[in-house]
């Protein structure tokens, strides 16, 4: 009887431990990175992104994006020397028309055209695309930039679903009070590779969604992304360009 009592006691201990372990490992226990990203997306527009339908001008070209849950439709209208090019990316299906005539193109060209339009919409609607399944998030702590505290989020991508630039690494500096992205940096391997740092300005709230422009800087290839804010504060980064999203219109209101 004594042996049976001990066995029952040990079984109970095992069951209790298993329950505790299961509870500790449930998806309800969110990582810091996941929570930071959730707060950031909410601050920039939240659920409004799910049905957002906007157009804007970028470098004299007209872009539109229309979201419907997980479905999307992007377009880019470009006019130059009496030639009108109209690109449509509809749930990864690419179509190009030149002066109203459908074009045939190779898989390499398809990747190039779809990558170009995806890149513009990606940056214009940050941080919305950071919740895609191929995105990996890592919390890198906090830092101070120009006397303001920021949380740092590192973003990498899976090869499957991460696009042709899935090897790129991004860092986002998120204002700890407003939860808005105010700085970002990334490295890339295309060509000879490069390092970029962007500082946000001209924030606008257009019917609940935040749009902002960026000053684009470069640093030496191989510069650690975490070092860029200090180089920025010391004026040691080279200004390359301004990334402007202009003439924004909410097409849902039209």
Provide the percentage of residues in the chain whose pLDDT is more than 70.
Answer: 85
pLDDT of 21 higher than 70: no
pLDDT band at 26; cut points 50, 70, 90: very low
Contact 227, 221 (CB under 8 A): no
15 phi and psi angles, rounded to 5 deg: -65, -40
pLDDT tens-digit readout, 53-100 = 999 999 999 999 999 988 999 999 999 999 999 999 999 899 999 999
Contact 117, 110 (CB under 8 A): no
Which of the two residues, 143 and 167, has the higher pLDDT score?
143
Q: Determine the average pLDDT of the residues in 193-212.
A: 96
Q: Give me the pLDDT at residue 66, please.
A: 97
Provide the percentage of residues in the chain whose pLDDT is more than 90.
Answer: 75
The pLDDT mean for the chain works out to 87
Which of the two residues, 206 and 13, has the higher pLDDT score?
206
pLDDT band at 158; cut points 50, 70, 90: confident
CA dist 164 and 101 (Å) reads: 28
CA dist 104 and 112 (Å) reads: 14
What 3-state class would DSSP assign to 110?
helix
Q: Give me the pLDDT at residue 160, please.
A: 62
Q: Determine the average pLDDT of the residues in 16-41.
A: 64
CA dist 200 and 212 (Å) reads: 6
pTM for the complete prediction? Answer: 0.83
pLDDT band at 30; cut points 50, 70, 90: low
Count other Cβ atoms within 10 Å, centred on residue 102: 9
pLDDT tens-digit readout, 204-242 = 999 999 999 999 999 999 999 999 999 999 999 999 999
Q: Hey, what are 208's tokens?
A: 């609940």
pLDDT of 178 higher than 70: yes
């Amino acid at each position: 009887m004594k042996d049976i009592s001990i066995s029952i006691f040990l079984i109970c201990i095992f069951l209790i431990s298993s329950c505790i372990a299961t509870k500790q490992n449930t998806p309800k226990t969110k990582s810091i990175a996941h929570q930071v990203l959730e707060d950031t997306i909410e601050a920039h527009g939240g659920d409004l992104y799910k049905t957002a339908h906007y157009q804007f001008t970028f470098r004299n070209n007209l872009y539109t994006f229309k979201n419907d849950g997980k479905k999307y439709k992007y377009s880019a209208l470009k006019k130059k020397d009496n030639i009108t090019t109209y690109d449509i990316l509809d749930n990864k299906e690419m179509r190009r028309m030149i002066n109203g005539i459908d074009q045939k193109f190779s898989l390499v060209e398809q990747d190039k055209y779809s990558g170009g339009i995806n890149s513009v919409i990606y940056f214009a609607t940050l941080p919305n695309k950071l919740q895609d399944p191929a995105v990996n998030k890592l919390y890198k702590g906090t830092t101070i930039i120009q006397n303001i505290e920021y949380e740092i989020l590192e973003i990498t991508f899976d090869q499957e679903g991460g696009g042709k630039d899935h090897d790129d690494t991004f860092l986002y500096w998120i204002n700890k009070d407003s939860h808005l992205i105010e700085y970002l940096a990334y490295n890339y391997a295309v060509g000879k590779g490069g390092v970029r740092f962007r500082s946000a300005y001209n924030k606008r709230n257009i019917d609940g969604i935040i749009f902002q422009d960026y000053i684009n800087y470069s640093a030496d290839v191989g510069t650690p992304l975490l070092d860029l804010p200090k180089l920025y504060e010391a004026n040691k980064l080279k200004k390359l360009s301004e990334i402007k999203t202009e003439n924004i219109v909410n097409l849902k209101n039209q």
